[in-house]
Amino acid sequence: MKILIVDDDRINSTVLNRLLSREGHQVLSAEDGRAGVEMFASEQPDLVLMDIRMPHMNGYEAARAIKQISSDRFVPVIFLTAVTDEEGLVQCIESGGDDFLTKPFNRTILRAKIEAMERIRRLHTELHTQKEELERHQERVQQELDISQHLFSNIVRAGNLLDAPCLRHMSVPMSQFNGDLLVASYNPAGGLHVMLGDFTGHGLSAAVGALPLSEIFYGLTAQGYSIGDLAEAMNDKLLDIMPTRMFCAACLLEVDFRQQSLTVWNGGLPDVLLVDGQGRLQHRILSNHLPLGIRPFTPDDRKVAIFELRKETRAFLYSDGLTEATRSDHEMFGSERLERYFDGSVPPEKLFDTIWAALEHFRGTAQQTDDISILEIDCARAGEESSGDRFSQARKKVTPTNWSLSFFFSPQLLQTVDPLPAIVHAIMNLQAPTGHRERIYTTLAELFSNALDHGLLGLDTRTKRTPEGFLRYYSQREERLAALAHGFIRLELTHIPQFDEKQQKIGGEMHIRVEDGGPGFDHRRVHSALEDNTGHGGRGIALVRSLCTKLSYNDAGNCADVVYRWTI
C-alpha cells in the first residue's frame, strides 16, 4: 500500500516509516496538517496515519479536508493519538477518522489495523466498481426501454382515433409499459371500432402482445371486417406467438352511426355499462366469452351482441384495474362503489370526471397495483366526426384500366364468412381511387345486405322500428341464415376508364350488379329517405342513390344494377 504519515513529531514519524517499510509498504511523510493535505492531493495514497495536534492545521481539520478530496473513493484515516477519553475518540470519528491507534505504538496492533483497513478498502473499491457497472447497465437498459416505449407508442397509436369527439378515456399504467390496450378506428362504412384489452401481468411482458393485436385491429378494421372477425384473428395470433399463461381479456365494440346499432364482443372484461340520458344504469352487457389466447375459437365464440344505439346512451368500458384499485388499508374500490355513480344523481356529462376523481381520492397515496383504464362512448356525439376522407391514403396512382370481377356465394359460404371485406380489398388493390373507399364499401354493403336480408332471408326492415323489434330483427337474421339451404348471391363488377375530350383518362366508371337467388323483395315499398328518417332501417336504397350515378332494380327486386363514377 501507499501510506501517508502526517505527524510533526519526527521520532514518531521515523519509527512508523521504518515499521511500515519493513512490511513492504510505500511510505510518504508530511510534517503538519496543511502539508499532509497537499501531499494527499498530489500522491493519492491508499491509507493515512494522522496525528491530532499539529501546527498550521490540526488532524481533525486535515482529516475533513482529505475526506472531502477523496469523496469518490474510500481512503481509510487512522488517527495517532495519546487521547484515551471517550470524548476525544468520538471527535476522531466525527472528523472522518475510520479508526485510531494509541501511542506508544504496538507493531502487532499496527499491522492488524492496517490489514483490516486494507480489506475494507478493497471491498469498498470492489463495491464501487460494481456500482459503476450496475449504473452503466441500468443506463443501457433505460435507453433500450425508452426506445422500446417510443416504438411501442408509435405502433399502437398509429391511426388511433381515441381523440374522436364521442370518446373520453383515461389509461394509467402501473409501470413504464401499459398492459392495457385501448385503440379505436373507423371502418370503411364509417362505423367506429373500439377495443379495450387487458393482458395478464404488467409491464413490458404484458405490453408485448399489444403490438400484434393493434396491427390486426387497424388492418382488419380498415378492410371492413366485423368485430367477430377481429376477435377470431386476434385469438389465433395470440395462440401462435404467446406463452400459454399469457392471454388477453378484451372487449370489442362497433358503433354503427348509420344503422344506429351497438355491436359488442366481450371476452373476460368487466361488464359494459350502458347509461341513459338521466345518468342511470340502463343495461349491463355481460362477458359471455373466454379471454383471447386461451383456446381456438368455435362458431359460438364469434357471436356478438347487438343493441339499439340511442342518442342519449353512454357506454362505459373499464379494466379490472379500476375496480380492484386499493387504498392504504387494502380495501378495493369495487364494482358496487363504481355503480353508485349511475343512480341518476350525477349528470351524464359529468360521470366520467366524477368517477375518475372519486378513484383518485379513494386511492390517495397508495401504490398502484395494476394498469387502470376507463373509456366512455357518448352516442349523442357519435356523428360529429366526418368520415368522408378517413381512408384516403398516399397510394401509388394507378391509371384507370379495364377490368372485371365476378363472385358467387353459396348458402354454406354465407353462413361462415362475411365476404364483403375481401371483395373491397380485392377492388382497392386492382384500382384504388383515393378517397372513394368508404363510398364503394357503403354501396356494396347496402346492396349485399339487401340481397341477403331481404332477398334470401325474407326479413322485413320495418321490424326495426321499435327497440324490441330491433333486437328481434337480428335474432331472426341469425336463425334464418343458419337454416338457409338454397339460393345464392352473385356479384359482378366491371370497370371502364373515362376520357375527356382530349382522350386523356380522367377517372373510371364502376358497374356493379348484385343478384340473389331468392324470390326478391318489393324495393318500391321500402321507406327510403335520408331526411327525417329517425328509424333503424329503410335508408339503404336512398343512401346508394346519393352516392352513385345510377341505381335500378329489376321487377322482381332480386337484381340491382349500380353505376359508380369517380375522377382522378
pLDDT digits (tens, 9 = 90+) for 416-445: 888 888 887 788 777 766 667 778 888 888
141 located within any domain: no
Per-residue pLDDT, 223: 82
C-alpha cell at 250: 378484451
Q: What is the pLDDT of residue 154?
A: 65
Q: What is the pLDDT of residue 155?
A: 62
- What mean pLDDT is predicted for residues 318-336? 94
Residue 121 to residues 39, 75, 353: CA-CA distances in angstroms? 20, 7, 58
Please, which residues have CB within 8 angstroms of residue 468's CB and are 6 or more apart in sequence? none
- Joined grid coordinates for residue 146: 425508452
Better-scored residue on pLDDT, 524 or 174: 174
pLDDT at 538: 57
Look at residues 301, 329, 298 and name the one whose alpha carbon lies nearest to residue 227: 301
pLDDT of residue 242: 83
In a domain, 457, yes or no: yes
Q: What 3-state class would DSSP assign to 486?
A: coil
Dihedral angle sign, alpha carbons of residues 117, 119, 122, 127: negative
pTM of the predicted structure, to 2 decimals: 0.65
Residue 109 carries which DSSP code? H
The answer to the question of residue 86 being in a domain is yes
Q: Which residues of 210-244 are buried (b: 16+ CB within 10 A; e: fewer)?
A: bebbbebbbebbbbbbbbbbbbbbbbebbbeebee
Does 143 map to a domain? no
Whether residue 55 is preceded by a cis peptide bond, meaning omega within 30 degrees of 0, is no
The 10 Å Cβ neighbour count of residue 33 is 26
Residues 315-331 as b/e (b if ≥16 CB within 10 A, e otherwise) read: bbbbbbbbbebbeeeee
Query: Among 107, 126, 145, where does a domain finish?
Result: 126
Mean pLDDT is lowest, of 177-181, 423-427, 536-540, for: 536-540
Residue 465 contacts residue 489 (beta carbons within 8 Å): no
Mean pLDDT of 269-281: 94
Contact at 8 Å (CB) between 420 and 518? no
- H-run or E-run covering 550: strand 550-553
Cβ atoms of 7 and 54 within 8 Å: the answer is yes
- Residue 489 maps to a domain: yes
Look at residue 122 and tell me whether its pLDDT is greater than 80: yes
Residues 216 and 280 in one domain: yes
> Running DSSP on this structure, what letter comes out for residue 380?
G
Q: Are residues 375 and 409 in the same domain?
A: no
Backbone φ and ψ for 529, nearest 5 degrees, come out as -145, 140
Amino acid at 441: Y
Q: Is 32 inside any structural domain?
A: yes
**Domain identity same for 455 and 345:** no
Mean pLDDT of 165-174: 89
**For the purposes of burial, counting CB atoms within 10 Å of the CB of 362, is it exposed (0-12), middle (13-18) or buried (19 or more)?**
middle
- Asked if residues 505 and 497 have their Cβ atoms less than 8 Å apart, the reply is yes
- The most confident of the ranges 321-325, 391-395, 553-557, 563-567 is 321-325
Q: What is the mean pLDDT of residues 182-206?
A: 84
Residues 202 and 330 in one domain: yes
Inside any domain, residue 390? no
Reduce the DSSP state of residue 34 to 3 states and report it: helix
With cut-offs at 50, 70 and 90, classify the pLDDT of residue 534: very low
pLDDT of 358 reads: 96
CATH number at residue 500: 3.30.565.10
| Amino acid (one-letter) located at 342 | F
Neighbours of 334 (CB within 10 A): 15
Q: What is the pLDDT of residues 462-496, one digit of tens each?
A: 887 777 788 888 889 889 999 999 999 999 999 99
What pLDDT sits at residue 38? 94
Largest CA distance in the chain: 128
Q: Which of 325, 307, 312, 390 is nearest to 351 (CA)?
A: 312
Domain boundary among 126, 147, 181: 126
Residue at a domain's end among 84, 107, 126: 126
Cα-trace Rg, the chain: 39
Higher pLDDT, 73 or 148: 73
pLDDT of 394 > 50? The answer is no
CA gap 360, 554 in Å, rounded: 63
Residue whose C-alpha cell reads 322482381 in the numeric block = 556
Q: 203-217, 414-428, 498-512: which has the highest mean pLDDT?
A: 498-512
Greater confidence, 257 or 361?
Answer: 361
**Is 312's pLDDT higher than 70?**
yes
**Number of H helices and number of E strands within the chain?**
16, 20
Which helix (H) or strand (E) segment is 79 a member of?
strand 77-81
* 527, pLDDT greater than 60: no
Between 218 and 524, where is the model more confident?
218
Above pLDDT 90, what percent of the chain?
Answer: 42
The residue assigned the cell 383518485 is 360
Strand, helix or coil for residue 104: coil
d(CA 105, CA 170): 72
- What amino acid is encoded at 120 in this protein? I
Q: Which residue has the cell 373507399?
A: 437
pLDDT (average), residues 174-194 = 84
- Among candidates 51, 2, 44, which has minimal Cα distance to 23? 2
Give the residue numbers spanning the domain of 301.
Answer: 158-381
Give the DSSP letter of residue 500: -
The 3-class SS string of 89-100 reads HHHHHHCCCCEE
328 and 243 part of one domain? yes
Are 414 and 374 within one domain? no
Shared-domain flag, residues 112 and 179: no
Structure-model confidence comparison of residues 101 and 320, the more confident one: 320
Residues 549 and 510 in one domain: yes
Q: Which residues contact 550 (CB under 8 A, 6 or more apart)?
A: 561, 562, 563
Same domain, yes or no: 269 and 408? no
Q: Kindly state whether residues 364 and 486 are assigned to the same domain.
A: no
Q: For 137-161, what is the mean pLDDT?
A: 70
Residues 225 and 114 in one domain: no
Q: Is residue 459 part of a domain?
A: yes
* Dist CA 475 CA 525 (whole Å): 23
Residue 296 has pLDDT above 90, yes or no: yes
Predicted pLDDT of residue 129: 87
Give the CATH number of the domain where residue 328 resides: 3.60.40.10
Q: Are 100 and 79 in contact (CB under 8 A)?
A: yes
In a shared domain, residues 362 and 260: yes
pLDDT in tens, 24-47: 999 999 999 999 999 999 999 999
How many structural domains compose the chain?
3
